[in-house]
Structure 1
Amino acid sequence: MSPGEIVAALVIAAGLVGVVVQVLPGSVLVLAAIGVWAVMTGGAVAWAVFALGAVAIVIAAVGKYVLAGRGLTRAGVPGSTLVWGGLAGVVGFFVVPVVGLPLGFVGGVYLAQRIRDGGHAAAWAATLAAVRATGLTIVIELAGALVAASAWLVGVALT
């Protein structure tokens, strides 16, 4: 492996971690590393790998919003509740490093739904639906990033 490929591998690994931890723009890092590798390597194989990675990441990006949105709609969670949860997650990220983001999101969804509906049961059901949807989006995005990373590994072996 060349030094450039080692750097690309490290950035791809950081991107995969970023998908799971949701602090870094994971899929963007994976695709950017593959793109830089394709530019540096050149040739049909490198560009085919980049194209495959881009398609996998775009399909995952669209799929995660469609599937998560469908689940939240079925559970009766309005978009405004998710916005409040997201804002509380951002605040939580800065107040309590690392774990503040998920804690703030969950607390924000619960509080927003509790204020909206006035009861614990509805707020708790909305919170569980939002957490499930978030987990689903992470799994789908990770799948797309793993397909892209796997294509890159095959590309490295072929070039």
Structure 2
Amino acid sequence: MGAWDLLLSGLVILLGLCGVLLPGVPGSWLVWAGVLWWALKDPRPLAWAVLTGATVVLLLSLAVRWALPPRRFRTDVATRRVALYAGTGTVLGFVLIPVLGAIPGFLGGVYLAERLRLGRHGEAMAALRTAMRTGGSSVLAELYACLLITGAWAGAVIVG
């Protein structure tokens, strides 16, 4: 596999990770498409195993998100700021405390954004609970699945 193909698939995966946080962008499907592109260009058994695992994780994520409340986000500046903080917290948590740190990272990011916006702990906690009930849990499930897929892809690229 050439460096340009690897870079292209990595950029599609990165775009998908960012797309999870934006309403209307099929982020998880972009992550899967990046892995698919990589597996088609690098037809080793490891690449196909990662693609199969990515497909299973994506389908499980869809099943989980189907059971969760639907997203009902507003499209204002505060929502974009919360999404940015939550996404950054999720990625940092995923890297600092491998795999399981994504969940407290997401919650911490939402809390920090709301604490900076509202100023008090009690109001920030209430806003965090509201955000998780109005679609934050769905975003967390999708972002977590995409980070798992990205981690498997990155591990396979480094090993291979």
How many residues are matched?
110
- Which residue among 76, 95, 105 is the counterpart of 1:99? 76
**What residue identity is the alignment partner of 2:18?**
V
Q: Are residue 3 (structure 1) and residue 4 (structure 2) matched?
A: yes
Q: Are residue 16 (structure 1) and residue 17 (structure 2) matched?
A: yes
**Is contact 1:45–1:158 with CA below 8 Å preserved after alignment?**
no
Range 36-45 or range 51-60, more displaced: 51-60
Alignment partners' CA distance in 1, 2:62 and 2:131: 18
**Is contact 1:30–1:145 with CA below 8 Å preserved after alignment?**
yes
Residue 146 of structure 1 corresponds to: 147
Q: Which has the higher helix share?
A: 1
Alignment partners' CA distance in 2, 1:147 and 1:21: 19
Q: TM-score, normalised by structure 2?
A: 0.60
5+ long unaligned stretches in structure 1: 70-81, 93-97, 103-127
**What residue identity is the alignment partner of 1:151?**
A
Q: Are residue 157 (structure 1) and residue 155 (structure 2) matched?
A: no
Greater relative contact order: 1 or 2 (C-alpha under 8 angstroms, separation 6 or more)?
A: 1
**What residue identity is the alignment partner of 1:141?**
E
**Is contact 1:17–1:26 with CA below 8 Å preserved after alignment?**
yes
Residue 52 of structure 1 corresponds to: 53
Alignment partners' CA distance in 1, 2:23 and 2:146: 13
Q: How does 1:102-121 map onto structure 2 within 5 Å?
A: none
SS of aligned partner of 2:141: helix
SS of aligned partner of 2:21: helix
Q: Kindly state the Cα deviation for residue 22 of structure 1 after the two structures are TM-superposed.
A: 2.4
Q: Kindly state the Cα deviation for residue 129 of structure 1 after the two structures are TM-superposed.
A: 5.8
Range 140-149 or range 16-25, more displaced: 16-25
**What residue identity is the alignment partner of 2:158?**
A
Deviations 1:2-24 (A, max 9, x none): 11111111111110011012231
5+ long unaligned stretches in structure 2: 80-128
Q: Are residue 64 (structure 1) and residue 32 (structure 2) matched?
A: no
Question: Of the two, which has the highest radius of gyration?
Answer: 1
Alignment partners' CA distance in 1, 2:140 and 2:132: 12
Residue 43 of structure 1 corresponds to: 44
For the aligned residue pairs, the C-alpha RMSD in angstroms reads: 2.6
Q: Give identity over the alignment, percent.
A: 27
Alignment partners' CA distance in 2, 1:23 and 1:99: 14
Q: Kindly state the Cα deviation for residue 64 of structure 1 after the two structures are TM-superposed.
A: 1.7
Alignment partners' CA distance in 2, 1:133 and 1:61: 17
Alignment partners' CA distance in 2, 1:9 and 1:41: 13
Deviations 1:56-101 (A, max 9, x none): 11111111221x24xxxxxxxxxxxx7xx96xx7xx8xxxxx539x
